[in-house]
Every structure is written in C-alpha cells, then in structure tokens.
Structure 1
Amino acid sequence: MSWFESFVLGLVQGLTEFLPISSSAHLRLTAAFADWQDPGAAFTAITQIGTETAVLIYFRKDITRIVSAWFRSLRHRRIRGDHDATMGWLVIVGSIPIGVLGLALKDAIEGPFRDLRLIATTLVVMGVVLGIADRLAARDERDEKDEKGGRHRAVRQRKDLTLLNTRDGLIFGICQAMALVPGVSRSGATISGGLLIGYTREAAARYSFLLAVPAVLASGLFELKDATDGHTSWPQTIFATLVAFAVGYAVIAWFIRFVSRKSFMPFVVYRILLGLLLFALVGAGVLTPHAGELAG
C-alpha cells in the first residue's frame, strides 16, 4: 500500500464512519474503483480505532460520567437506578450481539461478505429502510407541531435516551450487528432501528455513537493479532488511522448538528443511487464481483 492510498483510505474512513452510508463498503469500493488491492477487514477494523478515538474525545464528558456511574453502581446499590449507570449496562447489553456474531461470522466477514453484489444489495435495501424510518420520524414531528399549534391529532411521542430500556438496547445492538455486512452501515442500521422503535433522531444517533465504542475498539484490537502476519503495511496503516481520526472528529461535530434539524433523505438517495450504479457496473462487466480482493 502506498502513502497516497493510505491517505485516501483514511480520508474515506473518517468521512463515512459516522454517516449512514457504510464506511466498510466505501473502503471496499474505493479500492475497486481505483484498481487497488482491497485493504481488507483487518485494515478497516484498525482504522476504525482512529474514528472511535474521535468518539471518545468528542463524547468524553458523557463517557466519563457513564463509566464512573457504572463502576460506582457495582459497589453501591442506591446508584443502580441512576440514568448514567443504567446507560453503562445498556451499552454492554447492546454490544453482545455484534460480539457474538462477529466471532461466529469472522470468515464470512473477511470473504463472501465483501462481494460487490452483496454490498450493492445492502446499500439499496438499507437505504430504503432508512428512508421509511426517516419518514415515520418526520410524520411524528409534524403531528406534534400540529398538536402544539391547536390542531389535535394522534401523536406518537418520540423517546429520548432517558426512556431507553433493556429490550430497546438489545434491539439497537442487533441492528448494529447487521453492520458486519459491508454496505449496511453501523450508524445507518442503529439509527434506523432507533427511529422505527420510536426514538428521536438525536437520541438514536447519540446512542449509536456510544454503542459503537466498545464494539469497534474490541474489533480493532482483535484484528491486531491477524495484522502481525507480515502482510500489513504498518506505517501506512497507522497514517491512515491518524487521518481517519482527524476527519472523523470533524464529521461527528457536523453530523450531531445535522440530525437534530435535517432529514436523512439525502443519505437515502445517495445509498440507493450508489447501489444501483454498482449493480450496473458489475452487470456490465466493468467491475467483477471480487474486484481488488486480497489474494487468498
């Protein structure tokens, strides 16, 4: 891997990790379109450590408060009902599905799941799911405004994170686990799931970020042992991780502001168009389903 490739891939990772468009798919597609070798699942997992470090710093106050309350709740029963302590337990619960499935499907993640036809399918299907979830959230927001304006309608009150419970935390976790397939998108799946079970856009996005921290850091550390096989370009991988961290931090700040005011429809349209383009390129023979994949 050249330094230019590592810069571009780090930039792509940082730009796409937190947007609902799938960073793993974009890393895979960048390599395929540029006729580079697929950076592989290990490279993806390690560079994600950079973007998750950006999450740790951006949400450092929230994370410190949650971790502190969780540890104190282990010693003091009276603290266990505290919201921050509960959030600590719910992040653990929500991390179980991706941990179990990540280990069980490791070979598929590094092989068949990187087929461009599968990526095209997940881009389109999850784009439609995100679009439906976004429309439901927008409808509830309009109904609430109508009620406040004096036109009373049946309103589904959107939930914030103070109402998060074990069942919902597990649903978020199952949605996150779907992102083991490139093209699904960790943030896209968890935010869609959150919107479909009644949470606000901002609540779904915030919990998505918090839930990703243990999963991504664990995945990156787990992949380190495979990255020591002599095939990993460590200087370039570290450089890409630093680029992903810097860009990812800026994207978090922008995305949190965006979700509180805007619709996800631009991402929906982008996902569907990219998926259809990928289908067309593979169907026309411009790209093979395994273009740029690492040699076995």
Structure 2
Amino acid sequence: MDLLHVIILAIIQGLTEFLPVSSSAHLLLVPVVTSWQDQGLAFDVALHIGSLSAVVIYFRHEIARMWWAWIQSLRTRQVDEDGKLAWAVLLATIPVAVAGLLFNDFISSTLRSPLIVAAGLIGFGIVLGIADWRHRGNRSEYQMSRWDVLCIALAQALALIPGTSRSGITITAALFLGLSREAAARFSFLLSIPVIALAGGYETLGLVQADTEVDWLALVVGAVLSGLSAYLCIHYFLAFIRKIGMQPFVVYRILLGLLLIWFFW
C-alpha cells in the first residue's frame, strides 16, 4: 500500500466510525473513484485499534469511574449511576454480538449490495432526521431505564445491515427515547468500545489463521491516523450537535445514498 492510500483510508475509518454516516458506504465508494485494491485484513485490524484507542482515551475518566463502579457492584450488589451505565453498555452489546455471530456470513454474502447500502443510508437517515426534529428530550445517559437500554441494544443490532451506521442507529433510538443529543452521542460512543473490540478480535482471529505478509509501516501509520481523526471527530461532533443538531448529517446521508444509486444502478 502506498502512503496516500493509507492516509485516506485511515482518515475515512476514523471519521465514519463515529459520525452517523455509515463507514461501509464510504468504503464502497473508494474503489469506484480510485484504482486501489482491497486493503486487507491486517490493515482493517490496525484501523480498528486506532479507533478503539481514540474513544478509550477520550472517555478515559468516565471509563475509569464506570469500571470501578462495576467492580463494586459485583462485590456489594449495590449499583450507583456509573455502575448502572457500565452495566447498560455491557448488556446493550449482547444483541449485536449474537446477531453478528448468527448472521455475519449471510450479511457478508447477501446484503453488501451497493443499492442496499444506499437504501440504508437514505431510509435510516430520514428516521434520524425525524428523531432529532420531533422526539429529542433532555435526559442524560445516566437517566436511562432498562427499557431504554433494551431498545437501544436492539437498534444497535440493526447496524449489521450495511448503510445503517452503528452510531446513527443508536443515536436515533436514544433520541426517540428522550435523551438529549449530547447524551445520545456519548452513550453511542461508549457502546462502540465493546463493539469495536469484538470486531477487532474477530478480524484478528482471521488474521492469525491466514498466512499473509504484513506491511508494518502501513499498519502503524494507519492506526495512528485513524486514532487521531477519530479523537478529533468525537470532540468536534459533540460540540457540533449541541449547536446545530443532526440535520446536516441527514442531508449528507441522503446525498451519499443517491450518489451510490447513480454509480451502481
């Protein structure tokens, strides 16, 4: 892989991992506008490591409190607000993990069509716009009920459908349930930690089983750039939605979906 290839793919991964715009749609477009070959499994793992590092570093203080509160809840069976949030993140990961194990082969072989990605971009983008416009509340992520966590967990499982966007669908569900924009985004980012870790672990297993050469320089550069772009994305996304909201991302999703239809119809 040449350096330009590494830089562009790393930045795309870092940004689209957390923005509600679907990383799969952007990665579909890359081969269309370039002559680049598939980057390979090792590079995918490196990009996931970068994205995971970014969200862990950004929320390091919250994660430390949640981790300690979760340990204390196991010892004392008493749960404070940080422990409750930690349990919410863990339990909300179960549906998407189970769905991934059961349907990964079917999704990879059947649902990776560019037109399905386009439909997901447009359809779920419109739903995000409705949620942000009509159903936004002012509750924080610490005020979620079990019902809220279950609904967001089931919504996250839908992110396996290409074009949906994991962050987009979880933010949408949280907005419908009455969370504020910032709370919906923060909870979505926290949910990404076990999901990215599981996806990276699954890809690492495939990498170990495959006997392929590794371009270590590309992996390191990709991981660093993916992490930096993801960190900046999280920081500015939270500030952006506080002032402007989700509607620009809705418009972007629709336009991107139409672009995919134009390229692949």
Does TM-score exceed 0.5, indicating one fold? Answer: yes
1:287 corresponds in structure 2 to none
Q: How does 1:1-296 map to 2 (within 5 A)?
A: 1-39=1-39, 43-44=43-44, 46-77=46-77, 80-137=78-135, 158-228=138-208, 229-231=210-212, 233-235=214-216, 236-283=218-265
Structure with the bigger percentage of helix:
2
Indicate how the Cα distance of structure 1 residues 269 and 233 shifts in structure 2: closer, same or farther if over 3 A, else same. Answer: farther
CA displacement at 1:87 relative to structure 2: 0.9
AA of the residue aligned to 2:116: L
Cα separation, 2, equivalents of 1:99 and 1:247: 26
Q: 1:225 aligns to what SS in structure 2? A: helix
Q: State the Cα distance separating 1:158 from its structure 2 match.
A: 3.1
> Which ranges in structure 2 are unaligned for 5 or more consecutive residues?
none
**1:43 CA displacement:** 4.7
Whose Rg is larger? 1
Give the Cα separation in 1 of the matches to 2:138 and 2:3: 46
**TM-score (norm. length: structure 2):** 0.92
**Partner Cα separation in structure 1 for residue 116 and residue 250 of structure 2:** 18
Shift in alpha-carbon separation, 1:191–1:18, aligned structure 2, 3 A: same
Q: Which one-letter code corresponds to 2:74 in the other structure?
A: L
Shift of 1:258: 1.3
Query: TM-score, normalised to structure 1's length?
Result: 0.83
Once residues 117 and 56 of structure 1 are traced to their aligned partners in structure 2, the CA distance between those partners, rounded to angstroms, is 34
State the SS of the aligned residue for 1:198. Answer: coil
How far the C-alpha of 1:100 sits from its partner, in A, is 0.2
Distance in 2, Cα, partners of 1:99 & 1:46:
21
Q: Distance in 1 between matches of 2:213 and 2:121?
A: 28
The alpha-carbon deviation at position 176 of structure 1 amounts to 1.6
Identity across the alignment (%): 40
- Alignment RMSD: 1.9
CA contact (8 A) 1:20 1:267 kept: yes
State the Cα deviation string for residues 47-99 of structure 1 (Å, max 9, x = none). Answer: 1221121010000000000011000111113xx23001111111111000111
Q: 1:192 to 1:230 in 2, by over 3 A?
A: same
CA distance in 2 between partners of 1:162 and 1:105 (Å): 32
C-alpha contact (below 8 Å) 2:42/2:214 kept by paired residues: no
Contact 1:14–1:51 at 8 Å: present in 2 too? Answer: yes
Taking the aligned partners of 2:86 and 2:58, their CA distance within structure 1 comes to 18
Q: Which runs of 5+ in 1 are unaligned?
A: 141-156, 284-296
Structure 1 residue runs of 4 or more that deviate by more than 6 Å after TM superposition: none
Q: Distance in 2 between matches of 1:270 and 1:259?
A: 14
Assess if the C-alpha contact under 8 Å between 1:42 and 1:226 holds in 2.
Answer: no
Q: Which amino acid aligns with 1:254?
A: Y
* Distance of 1:29 and 1:273 partners within structure 2: 13
The whole-number CA distance in structure 2 between the counterparts of 1:234 and 1:90 is 38
TM-superposed CA distance for 1:45, in Å, is 5.4
